[in-house]
């Protein structure tokens, strides 16, 4: 058996450095792979701009159009719930903010612990619901590959271990915290090599989408 304190020290130290390096270098490579391809010049007379519509779509595509919402309400609502729950747990939990403050020197106000606790619990339930939906919905099941289930697991683990650590359901605490940090490291390592990249690239994709349509005078 490894000592929980040694385990915690390892995940906080060398393991974290490795995970962060893989994440940063991996994502840099991914972004270079995208942008270095460039785009061909467009000689057609534009009906509208590219930058404005592109930036607009980066934000506006977060909301589903009414027709799609009506046809796939579960996807839209549960998808939103788990993303928001995850972001609340990640960005608005006071200990997380303090960690950022300690490392980067910047901080922001958090939410009371019970609120974050509830958000995490909801996010976990929503993620489980998404998994059930994925295996039941004919289209989602058809599209799904091993990667979809892997990334689902890697996304669930930080929420789950965080929740268990917060409620002292894993003992001793250093082990709980160590497992939580390790789960995040696994997520970081997988990030550049899986669809998890969408957390960054979706905004690039949305920009291109908005720009391509915007140039033709269509709000995308």
The least CB distance from residue 184 to another protein, in Å, is 20
Count other Cβ atoms within 10 Å, centred on residue 170.
16
- Taking CB under 8 A as the rule, does residue 48 contact another protein? yes
Contact 49, 219 (CB under 8 A): no
The least CB distance from residue 196 to another protein, in Å, is 9
Which H or E run includes 134?
Answer: helix 113-136
Contact 196, 187 (CB under 8 A): yes
Judged by CB under 8 A, which stretch of 1-9, 90-98, 111-119, 198-206 contacts another protein? Answer: 198-206
- Taking CB under 8 A as the rule, does residue 171 contact another protein? no
Phi, psi of 111 (to 5 degrees): -105, 155
- Taking CB under 8 A as the rule, does residue 72 contact another protein? yes
Name which position in 129, 140, 150, 170 contacts another protein (CB under 8 A).
140
Q: Nearer Cβ to another protein, position 35 or 51?
A: 35
DSSP state of 216: T
Name which position in 9, 79, 97, 110 contacts another protein (CB under 8 A).
79
Q: Is 217 left (phi over 0), alpha (psi -120 to 50) or beta?
A: left
Name which position in 62, 99, 112, 132 contacts another protein (CB under 8 A).
62
Name which position in 9, 61, 97, 128 contacts another protein (CB under 8 A).
61
Phi, psi of 46 (to 5 degrees): -75, 145
Show contacts with another protein in window 83-122 (CB under 8 A).
Answer: none
Count other Cβ atoms within 10 Å, centred on residue 13.
10
Judged by CB under 8 A, which stretch of 14-22, 94-102, 117-125, 208-216 contacts another protein? Answer: 208-216
- Taking CB under 8 A as the rule, does residue 137 contact another protein? yes
- Taking CB under 8 A as the rule, does residue 57 contact another protein? yes
**What is the three-state SS of 147-197?**
HHHHHHHHHHHHHHHHHHHHCCCCCCHHHHHHHHHHHHHHHHHHHHHCHHH
- Taking CB under 8 A as the rule, does residue 28 contact another protein? no
The least CB distance from residue 156 to another protein, in Å, is 15
- Taking CB under 8 A as the rule, does residue 38 contact another protein? yes
């Amino acid at each position: 058996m490894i000592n929980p304190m040694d385990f915690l020290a390892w995940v906080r130290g060398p393991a974290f450095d490795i995970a962060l390096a893989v994440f940063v270098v991996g994502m840099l490579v991914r972004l270079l792979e995208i942008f270095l391809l460039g785009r061909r010049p467009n000689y057609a007379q534009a009906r509208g701009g590219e930058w404005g519509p592109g930036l607009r779509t980066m934000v506006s595509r977060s909301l589903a159009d009414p027709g799609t919402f009506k046809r796939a309400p579960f996807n839209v609502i549960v998808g939103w719930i788990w993303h928001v729950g995850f972001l609340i747990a990640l960005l608005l939990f006071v200990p997380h903010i303090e960690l950022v403050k300690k490392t980067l020197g910047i901080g922001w106000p958090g939410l009371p612990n019970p609120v974050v606790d509830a958000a995490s619990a909801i996010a976990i339930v929503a993620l489980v619901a998404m998994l059930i939906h994925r295996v039941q919905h004919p289209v989602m099941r058809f599209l799904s590959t091993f990667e979809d289930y892997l990334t689902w697991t890697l996304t669930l683990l930080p929420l789950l271990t965080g929740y268990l650590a917060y409620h002292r359901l894993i003992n001793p605490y250093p082990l709980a915290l160590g497992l939580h940090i390790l789960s995040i490291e696994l997520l970081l390592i997988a990030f550049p090599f899986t669809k998890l990249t969408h957390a960054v690239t979706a905004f690039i994709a949305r920009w291109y989408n908005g720009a391509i349509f915007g140039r033709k005078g269509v709000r995308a």
